[in-house]
Structures are given as C-alpha cells and as structure tokens.
A and B are shown apart, each in its own frame.
Chain A
Amino acid sequence: MSETAIAAPSPTPRWEADPVLDVEHLTMRFGGLVAVDDLSFAVGRGDITAIIGPNGAGKTTVFNCITGFYKPTEGRLTMRRAEGEEFLLERMPDFQIAARAKVARTFQNIRLFGGMTVLENLMVAQHNPLMKASYFTFGGVLGLSHYRRSEKEAIGFATSWLEQIRLIDRADDPAADLPYGAQRRLEIARAMCTRPEILCLDEPAAGLNPRESAELNDLLRLIRDEYQTSVLLIEHDMSVVMEISDHVVVLDYGKKIADGPADVIRNDPAVIAAYLGVEDDEVEAAEEEVEEIKEEAERR
C-alpha cells in the first residue's frame, strides 16, 4: 500500500479536491457488450478535462451516460454545482440534466437546428428562462412587457456569443448554410447559451483545419477562464488535447488505463501502446506531427 504512495508522493490532484463531476464505477452494458467497464474519474472545477482513447473505447458512451441519453447499467454520476447543490445524474431524465444540473453538450455529428437561423438556435438554448419569463406562454401570448424585456436580454446574450464566435454577420442565416467549422463553433455557443457549469464536447475539433483548430483552443480557454465553465471533451486531435487539457483520462476497451496531467499522459508507455497500438518509431512520428502542429499554431 505504502509503496506506491512513496513512489509517487504527489498531493491529491486538483480534480480530486474539488470535482465538479464525479464519475464512480460507471458501467454500461449493451446486451453482452460491455462498452464502459467500472470507470471512475473526476472532472475538476474550472479544468479542461479530455477523455481520449482509440475508436470504440467507449468515450461517447460515457458522454451519453453523463448527459442522460443512456441510463448507465451501474455506477454513480454526481454533479456538484458551484452553489453547493448536488445532482445524481443517473437518476435524472436527460432534459433535466441540462436544465437543472447545468450540464451542456455538443454532438459528434453536429446537431444544429438547420432550418432555423443562427440567432434562433441560440434563442432555443435559452428556452427555460424565457419560458418562465413568458409565464409559461400565457403572459407571452398577451404580450406582457415583462416577456419582451427578457427576450431582449436573451437576444443580447446571444449576440454577445455571436460576436465571440465571429458569426454576428450571419445571425439571420439558416444554420445549415454555415460552413462546417462555423457550425461547430455555433454548436458550442448554443450549448453555452444554456449557461452550463460543465460543457461536454464530443470531438469538437473533428473535421477542422489547423487554423480552426487553434481557434477552438482559444475558445475553450475563454470558456474556462471567462465563463468559469468546466470543460469535458472527447478528442482525437492530439494538438488540441495536449495543448489545452489540464487533465487527461485515457480509455481503452471501456476501462481507464491512465489518468493525469497532459504531460504525464504523453509519456505514459501504456497509453502509447494502447492508444497508438503501434511500433515505437511510429509513435515518435506521431509525436513529431503533434509538435509540428503546435509550432505552426504558435507561429501564427
């Protein structure tokens, strides 16, 4: 027992001390298939936490459990909001997880409201406060000024986000008309318009070019630093993961194989073997590529 403690005399990591989300013994079975197997980790408040792992490692399943789209077979998911309230996510229906526990998410294959404008997308995200302001529609139908004021505020909030993601000029265009990278940004902004305390991003950098990818990093930092929102992300793009993550959790076949700060993970031989599953020289090649991308990003 004491051997490991002596070998690694580090203090409790930050994410263990003040976790915004605690995942304990999460297991998800689909028939005979065990997609997630007794997984435990913590997401630190104000951290950017990345879940990485090869394809089919169960990353998206973890997301779907956290956001209530799947009911986990076993395990406990505790969300601790800043004001102290705690929510057991595995017991809540999906929409309440977003509405009350303040967990927001994006999707691997973007799910925008394509036929609605960019602005409308952000207005839908503010549904719950606006619903209250319209006195559950009754006041709104009568045209009470209270609702009109709230709507103006909501448009203001949406506008501020549109400026943030540089889509203010396209506010009145249908979301489906946006280029791919802009759709990704819009989906993140839409999730942020629910004013979440934790933002779950499912492969936000997928399909982005290096420039957009670098922009995404800035956006995520902004979300963490300016909006005090913790970020949990699944990512394949190592330049994103290594550059911005405070904490990395590595999954393989539904099990956690490593958990720690990014620079520790980077050199973990188990991670390299599982994640890349290849010869050492190819690992080096991949790492070089990562470095190159990083340098390129810094040059700009």
Chain B
Amino acid sequence: MATTSPSRRPAAELVKDAAYSALIALALAAPIIGLQTVTARGGLGLNARWDDVFLIVLAVFAGRLLLNFTIWRHQGARPIGQKWFQRAGGRPFARHGHTLSKIIGPLALAVALLLPALPFSDRYVMDLSIMVLTYIMLGWGLNIVVGLAGLLDLGYVAFYAIGAYSFALLATHFDLGFWICLPLAGILAAFWGVILGFPVLRLRGDYLAIVTLAFGEIIRVVLLNWYEFTGGPNGILGIPDPTLFGLEFARRGDNTFHEFFGLSYSSMHKIIFLYYIILCLALITNFVTLRLRRLPVGRAWEALREDEIACRSLGINTTNTKLTAFAIGAMFGGFAGSFFATRQGFISPESFTFIESALILAIVVLGGLGSQVGVVIAAIVMMGGFEYFREFEQYRMLIFGLAMVFIMVWRPRGLISTRSPSVILKERKAIGADLVGQGHG
C-alpha cells in the first residue's frame, strides 16, 4: 500500500531533505556534544569538540542521502517507521506466531532443563540465564496485569521490592528459611497489590499508570529512608541461601550438600540449584497463568480488556476481577523478589528503581501483550543484547534505549501479536492483533 504512487522524487529534493536533516543534527549536537562542561578553576569551563559535531553532521547528511537515494527513493515509501518496516518484516511472523509458539515452547523448555549440563554452560552463562529467567518470570507476572487484564501498571517493581524485602527481613530478623518465606513474600506482595488496587483501580487509562508509578516510587523512597527497618540506602546484608531439604550449599557446615552426596565442594552447585529454583518458579508462573486463562477469572480479565461496560452488563464484578489480576500479578512479582534476594544475598533500594518497572513493561509489550512465548523471546533478546554490549559500558544504556524505540516502531504490537483463544469448539485459530482490545486501565 505504500507504493500506490511510485513517483520518484527529484534528486534536488532528496539533497535538500538530507541537508535539512544535517541542519537538525547540527542543532542537536552543537550544544551538548560540541561544548562539554568541564570543571575548571573558579567554576565550570567549556571544552570545545567541534570536530565531533562536524563528523556527526556529516554522517547524518551522508546517511540520509544514502537512504533517500535507495529505500526512500519513491514518494509513497517515505514515512520511516511503520509502513516500510511492516512490509519488510511485519507479517510473516505474525501469521505463523501460533505454530511458532507450538514448536518454540517445548524446545525452549528442553533447552532450559538441560542447560546446566550443556558444555558451554560456565558460571557466566548460568548467571546470565538466572537473570534472564528472573525477568521472564517478572514479565509473565506483569503480563497478567497488562496483557490479560489490560491494566497499565508502571510500578510493578514495587511488588518485586516487597517480595525481596519481606524475605530479607523475615530471614534476618526471625531466622526463617527461604522456603518458608517464599510463600509469605508472595502473600505479602499480593496483599499490597490489593491495598493499592482497591482505591486506584477505579481510575482509568493513564491515571492508573501514573498512580502505580507513584506507588512504586513511594515504596522505594520509604525503603530508602526507613533506616531502622530497612537499613536505608545500605540495604540488607547477609540474606541466607536457599537449602535443598535442609542441605546447605556452603563450603563448611553441619549439613552441606556436597558432603551429603559425597562430592567435592564446588560453587557451581549453588548456582545450578538457584537456576533450577528460578526455572521452577517461572514454570509455575507460566503454568498458573495458562490455567487461569482458561478459567472464568482469566476470561473475565480478557473480557475486561476488551470492554469493561459489557462485562458489567453480564454481571461480572469488575472491581474484584481487576483486584485478582493485580494481586496475582503482584504475588508472582513477590516470589521473584524473594528469589532475587536469596540469590544476591544483599538488597538495597537501588535495585528497585523505575527503570526496572519500565524494563519489565518493555519486555511484556515487546513480546506481544498476552503472549507467554513473546515474553520469553523479548526477555532473551533484551537481556541478552544488554549483556552483549557489556564491553561498550557507557554506550550500553544508550543502545538499549535506541533498541527499545526501534523495535517498537518496527513492531508496535510486539513480536508475537496474535491471541490464542482460551476455549475452542472445533478448530484453534489465532486471532489477529488488530482485533484484540488494548485495555482502558
């Protein structure tokens, strides 16, 4: 459809267009890049870097010119994002999203189960996998709230923090172990989900978003300032490791894992154990979510996303339905949080900033709202990519942000954008994203 009028644009126009782009690049780069503020005697001084600015402007001009004479040569193909991107890579993935997820699911599960035994799995790979799995679990948890119920939650990290601090505090003050605290942390997070949800779930759309964001910030500020209870910015140290039926993963002790099984001590045991814990937790999250989708409560969530008024006309208590979504999402966030605490052994409010919430939300949206497989792919792509750029230390976040923008422009509905019905009569057909509601809350 982009090529309805394939008239070629005159070369002069293309050059002019590139010149405009270069001019804008100049305006953008000149102050911030061109003049660097440096500490000098008696205040700040400036360090001119006009050569850098010149290079950037030149690069923009050349790049734009190149694109103009190749991809954007024709009138219709002009808008950078959507149309061109969609033609290039949009459709096929969407259409086969369903069959794709059928293959990917079991395959990914097999790889995940066998990962510690694979030859390339050293400590680095395992640590990375644990992190990716944590985000997958968080993504799945948030998917219930955003993807299924259509409620925009920008403060999800609050529940992650509540889970982590619940476990850390219970463990350090009352000497309770991980396995007892795990459910408690989940319940506490869910409880806070209800406390927060009750007053704010009446709000619609972006009002809900901003209140949840505010809630996330409130929790962080409280954690930061309540020294006596949370240790303030110093956080909590010495959070115990999980045990395997009472066996500890320590080098020395009364009841250690390696002695019980007659193995020599290896720090990898603990890592692998942690890996299987988070894998289990994530799979439980997935299993419960998939189950819930086929239960009346899950269908009510999706119906709520489609049309809240119609839900009420069918006798569905929308407040309770939203609250359950919020509470269950929060509960999984709480589980993930206490896992995070036990893995790190140390937590502080710094781990629970807004950027974490944004990251988890980005994973859910990038993966495709409501899609479980999408979350996995998005988490691997984002966290893996993030790791890949580790060498570029200071450019890492910049690239990360740009990637977020470009992937979203490329596929606004996420990587897997089709919806799979929760109940079928004869034949399972995937539902195109353009039909699925976007939620109002």
Q: Which residues of A contact B (CB under 8 A)?
A: 67-69, 94-100, 104-105, 107, 111-117, 119-120, 123-128, 130-131, 134, 137, 140-141, 143, 147, 151, 155, 159, 168, 171-174, 176-177, 190-191, 194
Contacts and interface: CB of A to CB of B under 8 A. Distances in A.
Question: What are the 5 A-B residue pairs with the smallest beta carbon separation, nearest first?
Answer: A99-B315, A115-B436, A98-B315, A113-B306, A130-B296
Contacts, number: 148
Contact of A117 (B311, B314, B431): B431
A142 to B, nearest CB: 9
B296 A112 contact: no
Given A69-B309, A134-B295, A141-B291, A127 B424 contact: no
Given A95-B317, A98-B315, A140-B295, A115 B423 contact: no
A179 to B, nearest CB: 14
A25 B310 CA distance: 27
B141 to A, nearest CB: 15
Contacts of B428: 172
Nearest to B438: A115
A190 B292 CA distance: 22
A170 B419 CA distance: 17
A172 B315 contact: no
A124 B313 contact: no
A229 B282 CA distance: 48
B435 A177 contact: yes
Q: Name which of A112, A117, A191 has the most chain B CB atoms within 10 A of its CB.
A: A117
B204 to A, nearest CB: 15
14 contacts: A111-B309, A111-B313, A117-B429, A120-B423, A127-B300, A127-B316, A137-B295, A137-B296, A141-B292, A155-B423, A168-B425, A172-B429, A174-B432, A194-B314
Nearest to B297: A137
Given A95-B312, A137-B324, A176 B435 contact: yes
B299 to A, nearest CB: 5
B377 interface: no
A95 B316 contact: yes
A113 B302 contact: yes
Given A105-B313, A177-B435, A111 B307 contact: yes
A112 B318 CA distance: 16
Contacts of B303: 113, 116, 124
Nearest to B426: A172
A143 B300 CA distance: 18
A248 to B, nearest CB: 24
B63 interface: no
A107 B435 contact: no
A131 B431 contact: no
User: Looking at A113, A159, A173, which has the most chain B CB atoms within 10 Å of its CB?
Assistant: A113
B420 to A, nearest CB: 10
B280 to A, nearest CB: 17
Contacts of B222: none
A159 B291 contact: no
Contact of A113 (B423, B429, B432, B437): B437
Given A112-B307, A128-B315, A172-B426, A120 B437 contact: no
A192 B274 CA distance: 52
A190 B307 contact: no
Contacts of A68: 312
B429 A173 contact: yes
Contacts of B316: 95, 99, 124, 127-128
B425 A116 contact: no
B326 to A, nearest CB: 14
A112 B307 CA distance: 7
A97 B314 CA distance: 9
Contacts of B297: 131, 134, 137, 140
Contact of A107 (B306, B310, B421, B437): B310
Given A99-B317, A113-B302, A168-B425, 18 more contacts: A95-B312, A95-B314, A95-B316, A107-B309, A111-B313, A114-B435, A115-B437, A116-B306, A116-B421, A117-B423, A119-B423, A120-B302, A124-B300, A124-B316, A127-B299, A131-B296, A140-B297, A191-B314
Contacts of B436: 114-115
A125 B423 CA distance: 14
A125 B288 contact: no
A112 B288 CA distance: 27
A107 B313 contact: yes
A172 B424 contact: yes
Contacts of B324: 137
A117 B427 CA distance: 11
B312 A98 contact: yes
Given A94-B312, A104-B313, A111-B307, A174 B291 contact: no
A117 B421 contact: yes
A22 B175 CA distance: 64
Given A99-B315, A137-B295, A120 B422 contact: yes
Interface string B285-296: 000100110011
Contacts of A172: 421, 424-429
A195 B280 CA distance: 42
A95 B310 CA distance: 10
A194 B316 CA distance: 10
Contacts of A151: 423
